[in-house]
């Protein structure tokens, strides 16, 4: 790779990521995902001796074929192609290239997977196990138990994304604690209500979190981020799943977000209201939960209807 080519590569990627942040409100996690995807693609081109600005459709096709040969799932290959498409659309708009090599390419066919959810009984078991921890711990262990119990109660009460949950600013509890103001993807704000159980868990946690009063984070910790991390919370959630007698592989923060939405719709909640609570920009994203309910009803009929097995 020549010096000019290397500079073009770094500049093109950097300005593309800046555009995604400035014009589309891409969050840090989204930028990181684009960075990983483009680095993998550009590394592949380097191995073929191809400069990204001079790549053709056959080069992108070869990249997708290599991903498939490596056993990458169709959903992951489609996401990688989407990142490359966005990158080349940007370069074309900026006048850096004369033609987009991805224009005529079709992405890997993928069937949208239904979200994994837990039943109401299973969520109750998780909540009960977390609450029980707070009754048997002391000292530092009690603080951690109360913090985790609060995180879990708020997650199921609101259905917020785990990244939104762990990074809640402490200022969210200075107003009406019956609702929280959440800043989600793209800087969009939304209000989510707290149920009584979540408010009780929050009050108990705040009563013991005084040593973090100067922290800007609600769920402060000694982690480098200054707050509980997504990974740390996910690991704690798997531990409590084991205590609750559930398969830890079935339990994650995102599964609880799915459970929140599915349980609301199962009890007659309006789809638009659930969309607003989840912070989905497009209602088609929320509609996937109606398919979950339909599949559940099909299974109920197939398992229990007297004529289903004839």
Express each pLDDT in 107-148 by its tens digit.
666 555 556 778 899 999 999 999 999 998 888 899 999 999
For residues 236 and 250, what is the distance between their CA atoms, to the nearest angstrom? 14
Active site residue 304: no
pTM higher than 0.85: no
For the stretch 155-204, pLDDT in tens is 999 989 999 999 999 998 887 778 888 887 777 888 888 999 999 999 99
Q: Calculate the alpha carbon distances from 306 to 187, 296, 297, 298, 300 in Å.
A: 52, 17, 15, 14, 11
Mark out the alpha helices in 100-186 (DSSP H runs).
120-136, 139-158, 162-166
d(CA 183, CA 3): 42
Instruction: Please indicate whether residue 185 is annotated as part of the active site.
Output: yes
Determine whether 257 is an active site residue: yes
Q: Which of 8, 116, 144, 185 is catalytic?
A: 185
For residue 278, name the pLDDT band (cuts at 50, 70, 90). confident
pLDDT of residue 3: 54
Contact between 100 and 59 under an 8 Å Cβ cutoff? The reply is: no
279 vs 246: CA distance, rounded Å: 29
Tokens of 158: 């609101």
Cα–Cα distance measured from residue 266 to residue 241, given in angstroms and rounded to the nearest whole number: 23
Q: What is the pLDDT of residue 241?
A: 94
Check pLDDT > 70 for residue 31.
yes
Contact 256/155 with Cβ under 8 angstroms? Answer: yes
Indicate the average pLDDT of the chain: 85
Q: Which residue out of 77, 161, 204, 258 is catalytically annotated? A: 161
Q: Is residue 161 flagged as an active site residue?
A: yes
- 254 noted as active-site residue: yes
pLDDT at 266: 81
Q: Domain 120-302 - what CATH class? A: mainly alpha
**Cα gap 271→278, rounded to integer Å:** 11
Active-site choice (254, 272, 291, 298): 254
Percent of the chain with pLDDT over 90: 49
Confidence at residue 304, expressed as pLDDT on a 0 to 100 scale: 47
**Average pLDDT over every residue of 39-62:** 93
Q: Give the pLDDT of residue 145.
A: 95
């Amino acid at each position: 790779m020549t010096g000019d080519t290397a500079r073009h590569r770094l500049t093109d990627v950097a300005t593309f990521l800046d555009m995604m942040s400035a014009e589309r409100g891409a969050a840090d996690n989204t930028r990181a995902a684009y960075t990983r995807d483009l680095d993998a693609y550009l590394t592949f081109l380097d191995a073929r001796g191809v400069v990204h600005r001079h790549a053709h459709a056959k080069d992108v096709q070869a990249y997708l074929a290599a991903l498939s040969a490596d056993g990458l799932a169709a959903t992951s290959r489609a996401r990688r192609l989407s990142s490359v498409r966005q990158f080349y659309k940007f370069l074309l708009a900026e006048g850096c290239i004369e033609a987009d090599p991805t224009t005529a390419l079709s992405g890997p066919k993928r069937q949208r997977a239904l979200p994994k959810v837990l039943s109401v009984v299973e969520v109750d078991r998780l909540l009960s196990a977390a609450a029980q921890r707070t009754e048997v711990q002391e000292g530092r262990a009690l603080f951690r138990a109360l913090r985790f119990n609060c995180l879990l109660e708020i997650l199921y009460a609101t259905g917020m994304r785990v990244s939104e949950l762990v990074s809640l600013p402490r200022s969210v509890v200075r107003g009406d604690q019956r609702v929280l103001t959440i800043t989600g993807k793209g800087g969009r704000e939304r209000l989510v209500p707290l149920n009584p159980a979540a408010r009780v868990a929050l009050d108990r946690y705040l009563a013991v979190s005084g040593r973090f009063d100067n922290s800007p984070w609600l769920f402060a910790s000694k982690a480098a981020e200054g707050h509980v991390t997504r990974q740390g919370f996910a690991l704690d959630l798997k531990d409590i799943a084991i205590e609750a007698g559930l398969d830890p592989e079935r339990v994650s923060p995102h599964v609880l977000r799915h459970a929140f939405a599915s349980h609301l719709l199962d009890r007659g909640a309006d789809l638009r209201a659930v969309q607003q609570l989840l912070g989905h920009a497009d209602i088609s994203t929320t509609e996937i939960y109606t398919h979950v309910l339909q599949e559940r009803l099909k299974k109920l009929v197939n398992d229990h209807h007297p004529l289903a097995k004839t």
